[in-house]
Amino acid sequence: MNELNEEINLREELDKYLRYWPWFVLGTLSCLLIAFIYLRISVPVYDTVASVIIKDEESKGGGLGAGAAEFADLGLLGGMSTNSIENEIGLLKSRRLMINTVRALNLNVSYYDLNGFNSEELYADTPYLVEVVNLNKEELTEADEADLNQFSIEPIQSSEKLQLNFTESGETLEVQPDELVTLPFATIIIRDNPESSDKESVLVKIQAVTDVADTYREAVEINLIDDNATLLEFNLGSPVKQKAQDILDQLIFEYNKEAIEDKNEVAVNTAKFIDERLQIISGELDTVEVGLEDFKETNNLTNIEAESQLIVENASDYRKREQEIQTQLSVAQSIISYLQEEGAESGLLPADIGLEGESVNAQIASYNDLVLERNRILSGATKLNPTVTRLNQQIEQLRQTIMGGLERTVNSLQIAQRGLRQQTNLIGSEIAQVPAKERQFRDISRQQEIKEALYIFLLQKREENSLSLAATSPKAKIVDSAYTLNTPLSPKPKIVLAAAVLIGLAIPFLILYVRRLLNNKIERREDLEKITRAIPIVGELPRIAKGDSDLIEENDRSVLAESFRILTTNLQYLLVNAKHQDKGYCLYTTSTVKGEGKTFTSINLAMTLANTGKKVVLIGADLRNPQLQRYDTESKSLLGVSDYLVNDDHKLESLIHDSKFHTNLKLFLSGSIPPNPSELLRQSKFGRMLDELREKYDYVIVDTAPSMLVADTFLISKYADLILYVTRAGYTEKKLINFAVDAQNDGKLHDISFVINDVKTANFGYGNKYGYAYGQDKPSFWERFKSSL
């Protein structure tokens, strides 16, 4: 049972909207038309995609092949070593990289076609190219706000000159191609595009590089494909396919370019350090060799090595070890001197220059990584950035650690050097008899060998460092260069058309829903039935179209006539239990306020009964505001009810006259307007008048005053067999219906039945619901559409 009730309620709710189906059809067709126009004039936006793999170099060249370890030993893979892919995404979306991209592609100058229906961007197909030589950003910003930063270029017939038209200001300027043109905000040069043969008009718009970069920075989307990988996908929506592809490719190029520069920074600093040391060692080596040469010349020595070969062989092992220690000591002291120099904390340390001790080399590599990371963050932040502060602290701590380690290394080397010298002294005692010249020669030779070994070592490291510069690879490996999908990103026809249908249905629905929500007037039978079911509804009267007659005629087959026939039929069931079965019936028509159509209902009800052959008299009992005279203007001066009640000399038959509407219909008008209508109607004479008329007529219809405004109807209600309470659709407020309900409950009115007047055809509950009477042709679509309004 509950399911049945829910189904009925749902059907009723649907009927409330389906009766306005022409509005839904019109709304849907209108939105579809707008959608088709939108699809026609809109420029499609296509999705351009590119993808790269960010190499993870934290593992010192993992995955690069068998030679990766050798490159790692040479320090070639010690560049950017961040393993945070979020940092790389942030760098790719940085304003700096996008500004470099815009400048490289000259994207701050846009070209648009003036000949097409839409001003489509031309990009590379432009007939002219504008080169911005100089730009005043402040002037350009002011010009951009007033749209003065755009102008059209048109060729001048029979001339090589071009004409610049500034649309907003109305100014024109003739210029020569390939020459400087001074504008208020920039200095430009206009050149012919060799790749375009058409020299048509073109619109040029110049913007600030930073503004364009900010726009594309927001438009480019970079997404991590998998959390466990470093594969990034770039997306950019643009109506110009080639432009979007160039932007993504250039952005990746700028990223790789900066990454390579970042990686080479360590190698460049190392090369600088090695060159400085080579200059010093080269000078010292020259001094030693010149001293050896002078010593030999002065002492006439030719083959002193052969003479002391035996002793040298005994001391060679100690000398070799002392040479290695001296080399290590020189390198360590050089690095300590470098660290103690002013400003050394902001630079990089030379890596892998032959210093023994894995811990010190690892600390130097870590120090360089921290400096690189700090410098890269500083490119987009200030020194007060918490991350920069933290990195500075780590760099300082590691610098102190490196200096401490090097100092300990120097101490260890010095201790070892002293031990070797003691051993050398012991051997020296064995060669005490060797001439002083031999000892001096050996000292000079030893210094020569040490300087020469150090010089060769530095040359080797310089070559290795040059190799690292040549072997630097891009950080972002391109998986797919930028390509554009063929399906437009927007607008999508299916989605647009589906949205148009939904909006076309939603707009009428919302309008009807809000109108119903805010409407406090009755519109249809259901509105009355929701308020009360204690009072029956005996009839619904249709709205009279403009120009149509509001009076029923004889043999009338209109919708109005059919509605009153249904009304009279329903009255027969209500009058079955009337008190005076042997006399005529007395029917009252009243309403809550004026203007609801009680007089209209009274006269047409009388006409309908008269057409059935019944004798009917229509009484105008609204003594304050009589309305029956509107339908019979010739009877305005006749005497009527008020005159009969005031003067006993008037005979009832003399005050009733024939109507011009029907021979069976008599009119008993209200007469003169009295000063005391309530006192007149309160007289028992009014009841006797009705009884007398009942004897002569089949129906006595009394057109009374509005019930809520005056008490006249309440005073005479006891004489009625049935009271027709007229309401008007779109006019009578719902809260006023409670007045009729209370009046019946309080006994002021009895046997009330509602009549709904002025009902739209679409709102008919029963009877002529479909807008045409039985036997008539079905109305046209346009007529049914108008009836739903």
Q: 370 or 764: whose pLDDT is higher?
A: 370
143 CA to centre of own chain = 28
Q: Look up the pTM and report it.
A: 0.55
Phi/psi of residue 596, nearest 5 degrees? -95, -5
Is the pLDDT assigned to residue 313 strictly greater than 60?
A: yes
Q: Which residue has the higher pLDDT, 472 or 310?
A: 472
Rounded distance, CA 731 to CA 240, Å?
Answer: 59
- Asked whether the predicted pLDDT for residue 582 surpasses 50, the reply is yes
Check pLDDT > 90 for residue 300: no
With cut-offs at 50, 70 and 90, classify the pLDDT of residue 116. Answer: low
The confidence score (pLDDT) of residue 81 equals: 39
Q: 579 pLDDT band (50/70/90 cuts)?
A: low
- Does 561 score more than 50 pLDDT? yes
Instruction: Evaluate if residue 773 carries a pLDDT over 60.
Output: no
Q: What is the pLDDT of residues 420-468, one digit of tens each?
A: 777 777 776 655 545 666 666 777 777 777 877 887 887 887 777 777 6
Across 554-582, average pLDDT = 83
In total, the chain counts a number of residues equal to 789
**Which are the contacts of 526, defined by CB distance < 8 A and separation ≥ 6?**
12, 765
Least reliable range by pLDDT among 52-61, 216-225, 528-537, 731-740: 52-61
Residue 127 near residue 192 (C-beta atoms within 8 A): yes
The average pLDDT across 281-310 equals 67
Bigger pLDDT: 352 or 365? 365
Instruction: Name residues whose C-beta falls within 8 Å of residue 114's C-beta, 6 or more positions apart in sequence.
Output: 152, 200, 201, 202, 203
What pLDDT score does 745 carry? 92
What percent of the chain stands above pLDDT 70? 83
Residue 123 has pLDDT above 50, yes or no: yes
Q: HEC states along 551-568?
A: CCCCCCCCHHHHHHHHHH
Residue-level pLDDT at 689: 92
pLDDT per residue as tens digits for the range 32-57: 999 999 888 888 889 999 999 988 75
Residues 372-411 pLDDT 10s: 878 888 777 777 788 878 888 887 888 888 888 888 888 8
Domains and CATH numbers, the chain: 2-42+491-518 (no CATH), 109-207 (no CATH), 266-472 (no CATH), 534-787 (3.40.50.300)
Token output for 496: 């647009």
Residue 343 has pLDDT above 70, yes or no: no
Mean pLDDT of the chain: 80
123-132, 716-725, 762-771, range with the lowest pLDDT: 762-771
Average pLDDT over residues 545-563: 84
- Per-residue confidence (pLDDT) for residue 348, from 0 to 100: 76
pLDDT for res 544: 85
Other Cβ atoms less than 10 A from the Cβ of 203: the count is 19
CA distance readout (Å), 563 to 54, 569, 611, 675? 83, 10, 14, 38
CA distances from 582 to 398, 552, 696 (A): 123, 29, 11
Mean pLDDT, to the nearest integer, of 751-776? Answer: 68
Determine the pLDDT at residue 100.
93
Per-residue model confidence (pLDDT) at position 251: 93
Closest alpha carbon to 78 in 367, 499, 483, 301: 367
pLDDT in tens, 145-182: 777 788 888 888 777 788 888 877 778 888 888 888 88
The average pLDDT across 652-657 equals 88
Residues 143, 604: Cα–Cα separation, whole Å: 75
Q: Give the model's pLDDT for residue 771.
A: 45
The residue among 602 and 331 whose pLDDT is bigger is 602
Residue 475 has pLDDT above 90, yes or no: no
Identify the residue whose tokens are 């070892």: 416
Rounded-to-integer distance, Cα 505 and Cα 510, Å: 9
Return d(Cα 595, Cα 294) in angstroms, integer.
138
Rounded CA separation 124/751 (Å): 88
Section 720-747 average pLDDT: 92
Q: Which of 7, 6, 12 is nearest to 765 (CA)?
A: 12
pLDDT band at 580 (very low <50, low <70, confident <90, very high): low
Instruction: Check residue 69 and give its pLDDT.
Output: 38
Residue 727 has pLDDT above 70, yes or no: yes
Residue 74: its pLDDT value, please? 40
pLDDT attached to residue 756: 93
What pLDDT band is residue 330 in, cutting at 50, 70 and 90? confident
Q: Whose CA is closest to 206, among 319, 146, 130, 114?
A: 130
Helix (H) or strand (E) segment spanning residue 507: helix 493-518
What's the pLDDT at 387?
80
Residue 459, pLDDT score: 81
Measured between alpha carbons, how far is 656 from 635 in angstroms, rounded to an integer?
Answer: 11
Please report the pLDDT score of residue 784 as a whole number: 56
Residues 226-280: pLDDT tens digits? 888 889 999 999 888 999 999 999 999 999 988 887 777 777 777 777 877 778 8
Confidence of residue 469 (pLDDT cuts 50, 70, 90): low
Q: Give me the pLDDT at residue 2, please.
A: 53
